[in-house]
Structure 1
């Protein structure tokens, strides 16, 4: 009993990802090149193959991504592929009518290319002329579709020269929308898919792609994209031979990254980006003459030919081989490792130069932008930190941060291992391991300190920008500066100690029992006040016992700090809007309340808890008037006022914004200079 085959079922079960929408066209092109080879042998220079792009005659436009400055094109509805190869001989016709034919199996054909045609196109028309042994011409003309299989399409009259015309019509919408649109892009896709024919001895026939009045020659693309050829090499992976064709491509936006092209049956099956898979291999490399190029490798072997899938979009090869096996199974990882090792060997000189450039990039970044990594830089290099010299600052910061985290994790593991041996007889290398661990921890701690100091430099730079006017002469609002000093509408029970930058005003403000930012007095547990007025910042500190916010339960007497921030160059200070008097009122209300700690414990009454009032404001005429009214003294540089208010037992300081930034910078100058950061 003979088995029958359903063409519709075979087409339905044939895989064609939309990302490979042009694969049916590429298969038709490869068939044409093979037909030319069969006719002309080594004289392929006599061969001709042309592809014509057919677009919709309607006025509708393909509104897919066209890029800036490009005009939308009419949708592609089909392709016409014409070659002067041997034509549809009786043997070729029989093979075409036989699914899964092995007629051309010796050159990697699987007999499924025509199924891909029907997967992406509604119908296919073929007109072909061949020459018999006696030199007479014969014609074949037929249609091919899912509904009607292969059917004659009239007599093939008016025979011209030997060759074939394949018309792929009715480009199905899902594939049409996913396919490349321009003649340049389609020609390049064809070139890369068929590049094996251009690289082989004897080269390829003349191949062109035409779209209206524009024609692109694939033979010219070879000269346009290939800078030079490197010696071909062969690697052995578990007894299997793999041939590597190594190319130096001219650097351009079209060749941005080094790539590995996996080939089978004289076709590119899949490609892989090699960026960073070999240390120093990122984008462009430089040869001995400093000319830039991009590396590309075309990998082929009988093993790949035997394991390529029928649709030629992937390989039936495991990505990994887990554990030991009875046979030496070859995985994609095995092949890739062999290729990368060979790439590192043949590109040793340019890769070494690229690694040195990357190292210089890291050193420059650490010296000028991220000094926190300087104490551990030598240790990071041992973690194989190699970077693209053109890497962006933010990407380099993320890379170094990740490596630093790994270094810290390794140090923790090493410390646990070392200290786990306490109490037992220490091994011979115990002292050496302990010293190595302590050295690493010291470097990491220095890095943390450098990060803290660098953050202060960034904060001061940002504050300096906030107090300046913009192009329209406007100044930042109070809340922008307030949020930089400390987040608004919160207190120290909700934020960490690192969230506050009150050290800009006074280093002692880093230590407090309770701190509130832009909250009503009524909402503060330390006051017992019913007032809904809001000081910008209010803090308490225990006398002689400076504590962080999380530890605020110790008594006795708290000190009180109030900070009031005004908009730069704001000139509305008056008797009703006197920031000095506002601060003193806040101090008085805090003292009058049923004062409790942040955890609700009562604080013993005290008549004279020390109070400190800081007003951050520019010295406008009205602000100067309020300072003089409060009997405050001008500082020696004329950029602030200070004094002591006896009735309220409060020290008062009015700080000009410039003085605020300058004073904070001066206090940190020694640290900035040590790290090589600008301090002015």
Structure 2
């Protein structure tokens, strides 16, 4: 009697999703059925039974011609013929085959959809199976097609022999799947081994041979022994009372380190391992394995077996990469992955320690020379530092260490908040003291790290300024605006530039403390100055206190007691002209002073008092050139003691001002001298 499907086969196949990149999955399904049939026969006969599966790849072209040509693997594979010596398609197995969602193989992972996957990628499945029923040997043959019932040309007759087993022909690939099938027999063999690797690892596999039409063949057990190292590592862990096992093997032919999440000894989902363990990024080579290998990690467990989808392409639980794991009891891929990574850390601890030591031996000299500010970060976060990626450039290393430092600061800050909010129960006083001592130690270390970072920043700024004032490849000096911006960003004020983003300490440490900075703006554009003058200043600083008391500055204190003006000039500029408002820096600065004294300046509606007794501290940043020296001589400026700069005190009926001319070389020399003790402490000199 012809079997009858319990539902519309064509509709089920059409609704089934099979990615084109999984074009070998139908072959895997048939191999899986053969393994189950062999296991069923072994259960009847005993463990001495030797199961065997022969896979023949059938390529497009004339059969006899293909047997003789030397470049057979240039031709695409059109079909597969799979032959096993299992128990055969007896009545019970035929009923399971015809019945969708059959429960016959539920305990071993059967979902009753394997043949649907076959019809999704192939035109038909041709079956010839010999089985034993009621003491008689019989042979069933039929074609299984994508029709309403599925069965065609069905026959069930007495067998001419007693060799139990089944031959299944996956006939004629759909074109959209065929182009994703490897042409190389070896590549297909490797993919079969990878898919069923847990059978091979545990020694459960029957003899499996795959061959071409020219009789070239590959024994998959020998392939596994040759290419997949047999020194298998294993571990287990529990999540919500569910046990998971992991196996780690070495593959010489894999293309990356991977985690394979498996169900019923078959791979369901895999992912690269390097994004979770960055030390496992490259092929591993050593004296024993010169050609190198990649680790393959397999995760198995009853929970995975019971929660795989019917096509075995995913799991029926949360696999979201951004899973927040709000439900403590819920088992998610994220939780499984986290425990798997910890097991890998344990199993490969000796290997990872060596890799990380070698990596850090390369990084530490760079850190010591270039980034000494991270010394505390490394001391208190060594486990995170050990897990830095391999092969980082100097700048990438800086960024990664900065990330670790930021996380550390956040953790310490949270600890401080928690510590302060704790009730200081006298019975827990000792514990509280320990927590407080730990917090205070790390808090102070963070402070030292920040100070070291600032010192490194100062050294970098000085080095950058030195390069900017040198001739470039076009024998020109840096643009005035670029040099200016190193000291203070152009077109900014203290409202938009924080203290750490400006480098006025190059001129005078006291310039770091101020109440207002207006850079490269017209007076009428400066919010805090109520003046209509269109004349530009490069930089004006209104001090809240006289320089000696600048650290006691209060923004709400009026009136301002002093001002500082800075004028920047391009390095080596030599077109100055005495008395010219555009080309005489002394006249420019004195004009700025006059504008401030005579203008009607207000801050938030309050009048700003500036008169002839208000001290103005003025810096002209300009190199000594012949035209500038002429102005210095005309204005009777006095050379500084080191002979590099000039200064003069002006007192008129309208204003009082001290003006100093600072060449860039003097600024560099003085900045290095003032910061030498800091640079020496970090060995940056």
TM-score, normalised to structure 1, is 0.75
Partner of 1:271: 270
CA contact under 8 A between 2:210 and 2:217: conserved in structure 1? Answer: no
Query: How much does 1:406 deviate?
Result: 0.8
- The answer to whether the 8 A contact 1:644-1:651 is kept is yes
Which of 594, 598, 602 is equivalent to 1:592? 598
Pairing partner for 1:580 from 567, 573, 586: 586
1:564 aligns with 2:567: yes
Question: By how many angstroms is 1:112 displaced?
Answer: 0.7
2:512 matched to which residue of 1?
510
Q: 1:207: how far off?
A: 3.7
For residues 602-661 of structure 1, the C-alpha deviation after alignment (integer angstroms, 9 at most, x for no partner) is 233521322233232344444444444444345566644433445564333333333333
Deviation at 1:231, TM superposition (A): 4.8
Q: 399, 405, 424: which one pairs with 1:400?
A: 405
CA distance in 1, matches of 2:279, 2:113: 41
Cα shift readout 1:190-214 (whole Å, capped 9, x = no counterpart): 543232344343675234799xxx9
Contact 1:11 1:115 in 2 (8 A): yes
What residue ranges of structure 2 are gaps of 5+ in the alignment?
Answer: 43-47, 62-73, 156-164, 320-324
Residue 609 in structure 1 maps to residue 609 in structure 2: no
Q: Is the 8 A contact 2:644 2:666 kept in 1?
A: yes
14-23 vs 494-503, which moves further? 14-23
- Distance in 1 between the 2:56 and 2:419 partners? 66
SS state of the match for residue 247, structure 2?
Answer: strand
Corresponding residue for residue 669 of structure 2: 662
Kept in 1, the 8 Å contact 2:53–2:207? The answer is: no
The 1-side partners of 2:300 and 2:482 are apart by 62
Q: Secondary structure of the residue that 1:205 maps to in structure 2?
A: strand
The question of 1:144 aligning with 2:150 is answered: no
| Alpha-carbon distance change, 616 to 79 in structure 1, aligned in 2, over 3 angstroms | farther
For 1:300, the equivalent position in structure 2 comes to 300
Aligned to 2:162: none
SS across alignment from 1:650? strand
Instruction: Identify the range of structure 1 (273-282 vs 311-320) with the bigger mean alpha-carbon deviation.
Output: 273-282
- Residues 257-312 of structure 1: per-residue CA shift (max 9 Å, x gap): 4x432222231112355558789877777989798764333233455434432121
Moved more, 9-18 or 40-49: 40-49
Following superposition, the deviation at residue 508 of structure 1 comes to 1.4
Assess, with a 3 A threshold, how the Cα gap between structure 1 residues 11 and 47 changes in structure 2: closer, same or farther.
closer
Q: Deviations over 1:318-373 (max 9, x none)?
A: 7879568xxxx977677667655654543343244345556667755653344334
1:650 is aligned, of 653, 657, 661, to: 657
Q: Which residue of 1 aligns with 2:196?
A: 194
Report the equivalent of 1:68: none
Distance 2:267 2:434 in 1: 54
Q: Retained in 1: the 8 A contact 2:377–2:405?
A: no
Pairing of 1:102-181 with structure 2 (within 5 A): 107-119=108-120, 121=121, 124-129=123-128, 140=141, 142=143, 144-145=145-146, 149-152=150-153, 163-172=167-176
Per-residue deviation at 1:21?
6.6
Instruction: Provide, for residues 243-264 of structure 1, a one-character-per-residue CA deviation record: whole Å limited to 9, x for no partner.
Output: 54331345x9922x4x432222
- SS in structure 1 opposite 2:268? strand
Contact kept, 8 Å, 1:36 with 1:83, in 2: the verdict is: no
Q: Is the 8 A contact 1:124 1:143 kept in 2?
A: no
- The secondary structure found in structure 1 opposite 2:606 is coil
- 1:559-610 deviations in whole A, cap 9, x for unaligned? 22222223334444334423332222212211221233x3332233521322
Tell me if 1:471 matches 2:478. no
1:482 equivalent in structure 2 = 484
For residues 275 and 47 of structure 1, the distance between their equivalents in structure 2, rounded to whole angstroms, comes to 36
CA–CA distance in structure 2, aligned partners of residues 247 and 523 of structure 1: 70
Distance 1:51 1:628 in 2: 99
Shift of 1:531: 1.5
Contact 1:260–1:299 at 8 Å: present in 2 too?
A: yes
Secondary structure at the aligned position of 1:652 is classed as strand
**Do residues 82 (structure 1) and 81 (structure 2) align?**
yes
Q: In 2, distance between residues paired with 1:224 and 1:475? A: 66
Is the CA contact 1:285–1:350 (under 8 Å) kept in the aligned structure 2? no
SS in 2 for 1:519: strand
Q: In the aligned structure 2, how far is the partner of 1:435 from the partner of 1:478?
A: 51
Partner of 1:388, secondary structure, is coil
**SS of 2:418 mapped into structure 1:** helix
**Aligned counterparts of 1:331 and 1:456: Cα–Cα separation in 2:** 49
Q: 1:371 to 1:427 in 2, by over 3 A?
A: same
Counterparts of residues 30-109 of structure 1 (less than 5 Å): 30-31=32-33, 47-50=54-57, 79-85=78-84, 91=90, 95-101=96-102, 107-109=108-110
1:675 is the counterpart of 2:679: no
What is the CA deviation profile of residues 457-476 of structure 1, one whole-angstrom value per residue up to 9, with x for unaligned ones?
33333333433444344443
Which whole-Å CA distance do the structure 1 matches of 2:211 and 2:573 have between them?
72
Q: Alignment partner of 1:11: what SS?
A: helix
Q: 1:431, CA displacement in angstroms?
A: 5.4
**RMSD over equivalenced CA pairs, Å:** 4.9
Structure 1 residues 48 and 543 mapped into 2: Cα distance closer, same or farther (>3 Å)? closer
